[in-house]
Structure 1
Amino acid sequence: MKPVIRLATAFSILATGCAFGAEQHVVCPARLEPDAVQPNRPPSGWQLHMLRPVYLTEGGMLHGPPAESAFLVPDGGTSRKVGKQSGETQHWSFDVPHGYTKWMYCGYGGGGATLKLFRQVAEGATECTLSSQSADGVIKEVVEFVCK
């Protein structure tokens, strides 16, 4: 059972493209409302409903389309903690063989974040950075990707 997600309204785009040095800025929605998940093909005799919003819990990058699940480990990153607040930055550099796409994702719902939104990274991007702020394991500030 896989829910269909309306991606057109799910990502907030601040700028697009990477041609001529332009940056691609993408901000993950802080939460997904129940109407963002539409029933696709639940098991026979069942109906799928999302009863309450789910909150953003993670973000990352993939090599190739989401169906291949080729999640990338960051090249590096920084983490800082002040009291219960923590901030994290992760960075990926791409030396991707021709023909492979790069994707970013935003995960929702907690441990393992099985509900994910995916967005393709602009073709010319050679690196992406993810920034987030959290408290007690819950993301308090939006996850933002900057790809160039």
Structure 2
Amino acid sequence: MPWLALPLGDPRKALVQRKFKIQGIPALVAISPNGQTLSTQARQLIQAYGADAYPFTEEHLKHLEEKLEEEAKGWPEKVKSELHAEHELTRVLHHEYVCWCREPGSGWSFYCKECDFHLHPRCALSNKEGTKADAPNAMEGYICDGDVCRKV
């Protein structure tokens, strides 16, 4: 795959940012062989879908989203977990997150917005992944006082 990149500090950066409406770096823009912009969000798509994001066409991305929806069929919208008993966790789609088990994730997670707390579906829907007794080590960086949790 041919990559065209601008060196750091290149004066053409401003032109490219305006042309593709780039807000921050790093950024990756997918351009078709005929020069059409396929996606200005290619970096995020690769983070979410990996190599499956290619070829970045609308139809292909719609197919990937349908596959994600199919994957979650039968899963509850909300779960209660011993790993985060303070609040109910809601099923959400996140491009990237770190689960309670400290593994990175992308796609579906069960999430507590108040605490910014994620569980992989396999951790949220399985009783084998841990118990509340395991949580102090994995939840390092969180303080929960009753119903109020905050990231330290």
Classify the TM-score, shorter chain.
under 0.3
- Greater strand share, structure number: 1
- Which structure exhibits the higher relative contact order, with contacts defined as CA atoms closer than 8 Å and separated by 6 or more residues? 1
- Greater helix share, structure number: 2
